[in-house]
């Protein structure tokens, strides 16, 4: 679950490129072809002799085809959910990353935008270049694990907006520090720097 503060604003929700869904669609097409191959085999091989029908065989075959399509429908939603839940949420303060592996394994992490030290984009191959997607590496200060977002759509645009937000966050924090030291001086406290 992504826990966003009340005063935090979601600026962007980023998902993997649609091309990643194509490989899942390929699996679904293969699944859809299974009954066609099975019916063809049933006509070619004497497998029909194995079945005894108490009613119309055409209706029963139709039932099994629809049953198989129903299974494919469920598989399709499982694949979609896996795609949908892999997400990168950018707020005005933090970046949340969620990586869903199946239904029961989930890696979720978040880090502050002002802690980002380096943003790298890696695009490999002709497909990633032409369709404009790639991997984003976000290096953060400290010993925390760096973030790697794979197959992210429009990576350069995201990098640009992250850099912009990072600059704003740094400027804001510097203003806060300056404001603090000014108020300390005005209050007559000794500055720690002096």
Partner 1 sequence: MRYARRQVAHLESHSLIMIPSPLAEQSFHILVTPTLLFGVMALLLLGWSVFTLIVQYHWKNYGTGKLEVFTMNFFYLVGSLLFIAFLAALAILYHLSK
DSSP state of 172: H
Q: Which stretch binds partner 1 (CB under 8 A): 41-49, 131-139, 158-166, 183-191?
A: 41-49
Per CB under 8 A, which region of 18-26, 45-53, 117-125, 131-139 contacts partner 1?
45-53
Q: How far apart are CA 136 and CA 156, in angstroms?
A: 9
Q: Which residues of 59-91 are buried (b: 16+ CB within 10 A; e: fewer)?
A: eebeeeeeeeeeebeeebeebeeebeebbbbbb
Check residue 7 for interaction with partner 1 (CB under 8 A): no
Question: Which CB atom, from 109 or from 182, has the smaller least distance to partner 1?
Answer: 109
Q: How far is CA 17 from the centre of its chain?
A: 9
Q: Applying CB under 8 A, does 153 fall inside the site for partner 1?
A: no
Residue closer to partner 1 by CB (options 31, 123) is 31
Q: Long-range contacts of range 161-170, CB-CB < 8 Å, 24 or more positions apart?
A: 161/11, 161/12, 161/90, 162/90, 162/95, 162/113, 162/116, 162/119, 162/138, 163/119, 165/11, 165/90, 165/92, 165/113, 166/113, 166/114, 166/116, 169/93, 169/112, 169/113, 169/114, 170/114
By CB under 8 A, is residue 187 in contact with partner 1? no
Check binding of 127 to partner 1 (CB under 8 A): no
How many chain residues are in contact with partner 1, going by CB under 8 A?
39
Q: Which is nearer to partner 1, 18 or 53 (CB)?
A: 53
Q: What mask, x for binding partner 1 by CB under 8 A, covers residues 80 to 119?
A: xx--xx-x-x--------x-x--x--x-------------
β pairing state of 147-153 and 133-140 = antiparallel
Q: How far is the CB of 3 from partner 1 (least distance, A)?
A: 11
Is 39 one of the binding residues for partner 1 (CB under 8 A)? no
Interacting residue ranges for partner 1, rule: CB under 8 A:
1-2, 13, 45-47, 49-57, 59-60, 62-64, 66-67, 69-71, 73-74, 77-78, 80-81, 84-85, 87, 89, 98, 100, 103, 106
């Amino acid at each position: 679950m992504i826990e966003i503060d009340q005063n935090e604003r979601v600026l962007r929700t980023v998902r993997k490129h649609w091309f990643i869904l194509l490989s899942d669609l390929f699996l679904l097409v293969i699944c859809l072809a299974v009954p066609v191959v099975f019916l063809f085999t049933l006509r070619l091989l004497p497998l029909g002799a194995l079945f005894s029908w108490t009613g119309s065989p055409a209706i029963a075959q139709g039932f099994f085809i629809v049953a198989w399509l129903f299974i494919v429908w469920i598989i399709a939603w499982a694949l979609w959910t896996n795609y949908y839940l892999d997400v990168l949420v950018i707020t005005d303060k933090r970046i949340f990353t969620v990586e869903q592996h199946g239904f029961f394994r989930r890696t979720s992490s978040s880090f502050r935008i002002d802690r980002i030290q380096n943003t790298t984009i890696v695009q490999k191959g002709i497909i990633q270049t032409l369709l404009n997607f790639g991997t984003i590496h976000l290096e953060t200060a400290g010993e925390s694990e760096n973030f790697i977002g794979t197959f992210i759509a429009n990576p350069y645009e995201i990098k640009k907006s992250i850099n912009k937000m990072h600059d704003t966050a740094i400027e804001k924090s510097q203003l806060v520090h300056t404001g603090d030291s000014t108020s300390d001086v005005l209050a007559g406290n000794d500055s720690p720097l002096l």
